[in-house]
Structure 1
Amino acid sequence: MRKKELSYYVTSFFTEYLSGEAGLSINTIKSYRDAFILFYKYLEEAGICKISKLKMDMLNADNITGFLDWLEQSRCCSIRSRNQRLAALKAFCSYVIRRSPEESALCQGVLKIRIKKAPQKSVEYLSGAAIEYLLKMPNSHSMQGIRELAMIALMYESGCRVQELIDLRVGDIAFRSPNTLTLTGKGNKSRVVPISINAANILKAYLNSAGIDDTVHPVFVNRYNKTLSRSGVSYVLDKYGQIAHKARSDLFPSKLHPHILRHSKAMHLLENGVNLIYIRDFLGHSSVTTTEIYARCSPELKRKYIEQAGTLITETVEEYSDGEKEALIDWLRENI
Structure 2
Amino acid sequence: MQWKEALEQYRIYLKLERNLSENTISNYIRDIRKLKTMFPDLAPTKITSKQVREFNYENGKKYAVRSQARILSGIKSFYEFMIEEEWIEINPTTLISAPKIGTNIPDTLSTKEIDKIIAAIDLSAAHGERNRAIIELLYGCGLRVSELTEIKISDLFFDEDFIRVVGKGNKQRLVPIASYTQKVINIYKDQVRVHQKIQPKFSDHLFLNNRGGKLTRVMIFTIIKKYVELAGIKKNISPHTFRHSFATHLLENGADLRSIQLMLGHESITTTEIYMHIDKKFLRENIEKFHPRK
- The answer for the alignment partner of 2:162 in structure 1 is 180
Which amino acid is 2:221 matched to? S
Post-superposition shift, 1:66? 2.8
Distance of 1:203 and 1:64 partners within structure 2:
50
Q: Equivalent residue of 2:183, what SS? A: helix
Distance of 2:286 and 2:106 partners within structure 1:
19
User: Is contact 2:107-2:236 (8 Å) kept?
Assistant: no
Q: Which runs of 5+ in 1 are unaligned?
A: 44-48, 246-251, 314-336
Question: Number of aligned pairs?
Answer: 289
Q: Which runs of 5+ in 2 are unaligned?
A: none
Post-superposition shift, 1:272? 0.2
Distance of 2:209 and 2:81 partners within structure 1:
39
What is the TM-score with the length of structure 2 in the denominator?
0.89
- The answer for the alignment partner of 1:289 in structure 2 is 270
- The answer for the alignment partner of 1:72 in structure 2 is 60
- The answer for the alignment partner of 1:27 in structure 2 is 23
| Residue 59 (1) aligns with residue 47 (2) | yes
Which runs of at least 4 in structure 1 moved beyond 4 Å after TM superposition? Answer: 212-216, 308-311
| Residue 8 (1) aligns with residue 5 (2) | yes
- The answer for the alignment partner of 2:69 in structure 1 is 83
Deviation string, structure 1 residues 111-162 (Cα, Å, up to 9, x no partner): 3322222122223210111111112221223331111111111100010001
- The answer for the alignment partner of 2:89 in structure 1 is 104
Deviation string, structure 1 residues 169-192 (Cα, Å, up to 9, x no partner): 11001122x422100111221111
User: Is contact 1:123-1:297 (8 Å) kept?
Assistant: no
- The answer for the alignment partner of 2:140 in structure 1 is 157
Which amino acid is 1:39 matched to? L
Distance of 1:149 and 1:132 partners within structure 2:
11
- Which of residues 237, 252, 272 in structure 1 aligns to 2:224? 237
| Residue 95 (1) aligns with residue 81 (2) | yes
Return the index of the structure with the highest Cα Rg.
Answer: 1
Greater RCO (Cα-Cα under 8 Å, separation 6 or more): 2
Distance of 2:213 and 2:276 partners within structure 1:
39
Change (3 A) 1:310 1:273: closer
- Which of residues 274, 288, 293 in structure 2 aligns to 1:307? 288
Deviation string, structure 1 residues 237-285 (Cα, Å, up to 9, x no partner): 011112223xxxxxx3343111000000001000000000111111111
- The answer for the alignment partner of 2:251 in structure 1 is 270
Change (3 A) 1:99 1:311: closer
Over aligned residue pairs, what C-alpha RMSD do you find?
A: 2.3
- Which of residues 32, 37, 41 in structure 1 aligns to 2:33? 37
User: Is contact 2:247-2:260 (8 Å) kept?
Assistant: yes
Change (3 A) 1:128 1:182: same
Distance of 2:285 and 2:50 partners within structure 1:
49
User: Is contact 1:122-1:297 (8 Å) kept?
Assistant: no
- Which of residues 199, 213, 218 in structure 2 aligns to 1:226? 213
Distance of 2:96 and 2:166 partners within structure 1:
32
User: Is contact 2:65-2:99 (8 Å) kept?
Assistant: yes
User: Is contact 1:295-1:301 (8 Å) kept?
Assistant: no
User: Is contact 2:133-2:181 (8 Å) kept?
Assistant: yes
What is the TM-score with the length of structure 1 in the denominator?
0.79
- Which of residues 253, 274, 278 in structure 1 aligns to 2:234? 253
User: Is contact 2:130-2:188 (8 Å) kept?
Assistant: yes
Change (3 A) 1:207 1:116: same
Post-superposition shift, 1:57? 4.7
